[in-house]
Amino acid sequence: MLGYWLAVVRRLAVPALVTGLLCAAAMVAALVLGDGVPWREAAPQSLTAAAVGALAFAAVLSTATVVRAARTARRYGLALGPEAVALPCVREVRVSGIADRTAFQLTDGVRHAVEKDPVLRRDEVTAFGHGKLDLTVRGPSDTTVAVRVRITTGPERTIAVVEARPTATYKRLDAAACWAVARVLERRIEETLRAEVAEGGQTR
């Protein structure tokens, strides 16, 4: 939890600085232009306003984000960590090579597993093909998460890469929604591929 909060604070450093500068500018305008206070006397008060504004911005937004992220982690049965802040969230599954299965067949199996998952709320499949699955998922608080799954397979190794990002590109903090969706998908994909590995071993 602490690691996630610190990661959020680092992500908010630049917006908080901008907020502080805006507060300082507003204070300078009010003191110098409004009240006729000399610049030298207005500067300390403006710096104080900048610090207070930046700290308040970072404290309020980071606290709200952490509370929502903790709720998301509990809902999905996950442990919240600093990696939950990164966007896009990328997860990778590696299993042994799967005999007699093409990337298309494996992708189709993953798609069925996602559709039947009781936790994920699949919205729409936007692309489906040979080793390629793109879809949107309704995350916590109805956050829409865009997911890309890419599957490659060979005689030695099968690899699935999951990438999740918010559909709203401006949303830099999504309270761990993309991370939670990616982690759940990672589990389902790993279960599906390992079942295929086991089935392939039995048929040989």
Distance CA 177, CA 198 (A): 32
Distance CA 131, CA 167 (A): 22
What's the pLDDT tens digit per position in 2-38? 788 788 888 777 877 888 788 777 777 777 777 666 7
Q: Contact 183/78 with Cβ under 8 angstroms?
A: yes
Inter-CA distances, 130 with 55, 107, 179, 186, Å: 49, 7, 25, 19
Q: Find, among 157, 173, 153, the residue nearest to 165 by Cα.
A: 173
The more confident residue out of 129 and 203 is 129
Q: What is the pLDDT of residue 65?
A: 84
pLDDT classification of 134: cutoffs 50, 70, 90:
very high
Residues with Cβ within 8 Å of 192's Cβ and at least 6 positions away in sequence, in order, are 106, 109, 110, 113
Which tokens in the block code for residue 7? 């990661």
What's the pLDDT tens digit per position in 55-79? 888 888 888 888 888 888 888 888 8
pLDDT beyond 60 at 153? yes
Which tokens in the block code for residue 39? 């610049």
Question: Taking all residues of the chain, what is their mean pLDDT, rounded to a whole number?
Answer: 84
Q: Does the N-terminal peptide bond of residue 88 adopt cis geometry, omega within 30 degrees of 0?
A: yes
